[in-house]
Structure 1
Amino acid sequence: MTAARSHASPTSGSHGAEAERVTEEARDRGLDARLVVDRGSFHLDVALTAAPGDVVAVLGPNGAGKTTALRALAGLAPLSGGHLRLDGAELDGVPPEHRPVGVVFQDYLLFPHLSALDNVAFGPRCRGAAKVESRAQAAELLARLGLADHASARPAGLSGGQAQRVALARALAIRPRLLLLDEPLAALDARTRLDVRSQLRRHLAEFEAVAVLVTHDPLDAMVLADRLVVIERGQVVQEGSPADIARRPRTDYIAQLVGLNLYRGRADGHTVRLDTGAAITTTEELSGPAFVAFPPGAVTLHLDRPSGSSARNLWRCEVSGLETHGDQIRVDLTGELPLAADLTTIAAAELGLHPGALVWAAVKAAQTHAYPA
């Protein structure tokens, strides 16, 4: 991801009529929460609403408050203020074991001495269901998740993907009205993660209540969730659909997640001027505070000032770093406009790039995207 440069203030994005519909429906059917938690010097104040069938991903950097929010929803961290309502019922003060909430923990926390079947049956048994009924329900869930042949296996005999699905089945066995997933794919290797992500998306699509996913992985969030809520320093800084957030990031952290260079300045027509004095020409015509974003792949580098280029944006820069980024070379640049550029290995070699090298960076106006701040 690109190291985006901006001085963006943490302003929440609006998602309009859809948000109003979700909020209204969540008051009676779904999740309606304002989570206020004071923990020493850290203060969390996050509003979350979701209608039945919604999958909401909570994203944020380390220390943003993601885990605190999840623990508050689960009843494992007491609220200092705000409210927590699920299907119209107040949950604040209700013990965790009596909440209609299922949790899939990052490390799954399966009971090592129990079979997959008995791990899944554990929840219904604790809530008073008969052993035969609990095991029948567990068998049905395991079959639905493609694990019928592994019902008798203990966790040590399961693959990472199988263990993840057993943990999901165990959370679903209590028929929760709120399903919480704490970094559900973090314990998987890259190859398994790809398969399990697509399976989990299918299972979440069939879930009729609210699901809240806590993750730091943008791909997990984009693939699994209908709506993203990004928090930084305990506050919501942006929320909306994955497509909207990817297209219009409002903080450096979000820009890095979606792989964009991001700047904030003041627009006057087709020009956005930054506080540093640098200017960016765009195709959009705006007036007032504005963001400008463009991908590192839109940047071309030249050793000499290009004379025949059609690019409207041209800055003198110095190479500050080089690193492999997928099948390309990510070039970090400082100078008139700090930015990141992606080049092929051949292009980087032909330019003879190295830290300290001086180059011209060019970006066509049509490859920038400006929007109100």
Structure 2
Amino acid sequence: MTDIDKTSTDTNTNTNADTDTDTDGTVLPVDEGLNARLVVDRGRFRLDVSLTAAPGEVVALLGPNGAGKTTALRALAGLVPLTGGHLRLDGAELDRTPPESRPVGVVFQDYLLFPHLTALDNVAFGPRCHGVGKAEARAQAAEWLRRMDLAEHADAKPRRLSGGQAQRVALARALATHPRLLLLDEPLAALDARTRLDVRAQLRRHLADFEAVAVLVTHDPLDAMVLADRLVVIEDGHVVQEGTPADIARHPRTDYIAHLVGLNLYKGEAQGHTVRLDARPEITATGPEITTTEDLTGPVCVTFPPAAVTLYRERPTGASARNLWQCEVAGLETHGDQIRVALTGEFSLTADLTTVAAAELGLHTGALIWATVKATQTHAYPA
């Protein structure tokens, strides 16, 4: 798989590349892979998302419900018409190409296998639609089932397949047409937790071998982090952040992304190691013992994990933490093998505690608590 720099839809940065022109006169590079600006108007909702991807790259679209992820995927598939922008795949214009004529394979959330056909004939359906003879299509389908470790289920109909097996048949059916763009709509959502783990690993292996572009829509951050080379986060129909999974996890820029990767996030104005927040107390973002850290100035984001928060029932005396706030317990919930505590009041944040620590503190909704975070456990970066 490859990582590529984001291609601007406003400027052609490679003067030696072949070029094309968008409907608004914007000059665009014509390369292999995906180059799209998806503009879709649906009542009061407007999707305006730019996507680029190189062959061999897996891009995951993340975002809250209603953000526009599925609309973007359906626009790529040709199931939703564009009201503006452009859609190019390997330099070919697809805007007005019917869905059935696009070199696109789709794996839907519910797989949508034909119930009356065997696994073999489900996979052979794609090649048959592209003019391949019945015997050759079935031979190709058998090979794809073998690759998916499903050869022994070739004669089984969908109702006899497990969720993981049905997912792999759907993937084989999509790949059998040799698409230049593979679209996966929540491909693991219908699986139970145990099956999901195994199928995720198998899907990662198959995507690693896929030589064209793959776009994955998911609400699960783990699926995105494991399967994708690059994440594109959409909120309210627009891209709010994109980058590698590691970069997104280290530098979230919206509350949704911070929650997704499990961090407390705040925005403010930095002056040295002090960050002034709007209508909130200050945060000291670096301890005095860290002398090699460069002072920050201007708009910044500050993050810290819930595990960095220490709670006290009484105001601590002689505490070394530079950040100390009195809060009220707004809620408690089980989070893995810990208790996640939501705090409001002077400062809103989340904290993770062991069940023993939560019991010893006697935490309950409405309880007043003191929260501290060491400056050395915070991370500040330009907003």
| TM bucket, shorter chain | over 0.9
Q: How many pairs align? A: 358
Could you say what secondary structure the match of 2:208 adopts? helix
CA distance in 2, matches of 1:21, 1:226: 19
- 1:7-34 deviation per Cα after TM superposition (whole angstroms, max 9, x unaligned): xxxxxxxxx9732599979831100000
Q: How far has the Cα of 1:249 moved from its partner?
A: 0.5
Matches within 5 A, 1:182-197: 182-197=185-200
Could you say what secondary structure the match of 1:255 adopts? helix
Aligned to 2:203: 200
CA distance in 2, matches of 1:367, 1:280: 12
Matches within 5 A, 1:260-299: 260-283=263-286, 285-299=295-309
Q: Percent of counterpart pairs with the same letter?
A: 78
Task: Point out where structure 1 has 5 or more consecutive residues left out of the alignment.
Answer: 1-15
Aligned to 1:372: 382
Say yes or no: does 1:319 pair with 2:322.
Answer: no
Question: What is the RMSD computed on CA atoms of the aligned residues?
Answer: 1.6
Could you say what secondary structure the match of 1:28 adopts? coil
Could you say what secondary structure the match of 1:29 adopts? coil
CA distance in 2, matches of 1:115, 1:103: 19
Aligned to 1:88: 91
Aligned to 1:11: none
- 1:140-177 deviation per Cα after TM superposition (whole angstroms, max 9, x unaligned): 11101111111111101111000000000000011000
Q: How far has the Cα of 1:308 moved from its partner?
A: 2.8
Could you say what secondary structure the match of 1:19 adopts? coil
Could you say what secondary structure the match of 1:18 adopts? coil
1:331 to 341, 349, 368: 341
Q: How far has the Cα of 1:319 moved from its partner?
A: 1.1
Instruction: Give the aligned residue type for 1:327.
Output: D
CA distance in 2, matches of 1:132, 1:369: 60
Could you say what secondary structure the match of 1:309 adopts? coil
Could you say what secondary structure the match of 1:153 adopts? coil
Could you say what secondary structure the match of 1:257 adopts? helix
Matches within 5 A, 1:249-268: 249-268=252-271
Could you say what secondary structure the match of 2:6 adopts? helix
CA distance in 2, matches of 1:225, 1:213: 8
CA distance in 2, matches of 1:318, 1:87: 55
- 1:16-61 deviation per Cα after TM superposition (whole angstroms, max 9, x unaligned): 9732599979831100000000011110000000000000000011
Aligned to 1:7: none
Q: How far has the Cα of 1:99 moved from its partner?
A: 0.3
- 1:271-310 deviation per Cα after TM superposition (whole angstroms, max 9, x unaligned): 1110113111112521001110111010000112222322
CA distance in 2, matches of 1:369, 1:349: 30
CA distance in 2, matches of 1:83, 1:324: 46
Aligned to 1:351: 361
- 1:90-130 deviation per Cα after TM superposition (whole angstroms, max 9, x unaligned): 00000000000000000000000000000000011011110
Say yes or no: does 1:310 pair with 2:313.
Answer: no
Say yes or no: does 1:153 pair with 2:156.
Answer: yes
Matches within 5 A, 1:1-373: 18-20=5-7, 27-283=30-286, 285-373=295-383
Instruction: Give the aligned residue type for 1:188.
Output: L
Aligned to 1:4: none
CA distance in 1, matches of 2:81, 2:68: 14
Could you say what secondary structure the match of 2:87 adopts? strand
TM normalised by structure 1 equals: 0.93
CA distance in 2, matches of 1:184, 1:52: 20
Aligned to 1:3: none
CA distance in 1, matches of 2:368, 2:85: 53
Could you say what secondary structure the match of 1:354 adopts? coil
CA distance in 1, matches of 2:186, 2:159: 21
Instruction: Give the aligned residue type for 1:92.
Output: D
The answer to which structure, 1 or 2, has the higher relative contact order (CA under 8 A, 6+ apart) is 1
- 1:221-268 deviation per Cα after TM superposition (whole angstroms, max 9, x unaligned): 011000000000100000000000011100111011000111111100
Shift in CA distance, 247/338, structure 1 to aligned 2, threshold 3 Å: same
CA distance in 2, matches of 1:205, 1:156: 29
CA distance in 2, matches of 1:28, 1:203: 24
The 8 Å contact of residues 339 and 358 in structure 2, kept in 1 or not, is answered as yes
Instruction: Give the aligned residue type for 2:341.
Output: V
Could you say what secondary structure the match of 1:113 adopts? coil
Shift in CA distance, 175/21, structure 1 to aligned 2, threshold 3 Å: farther
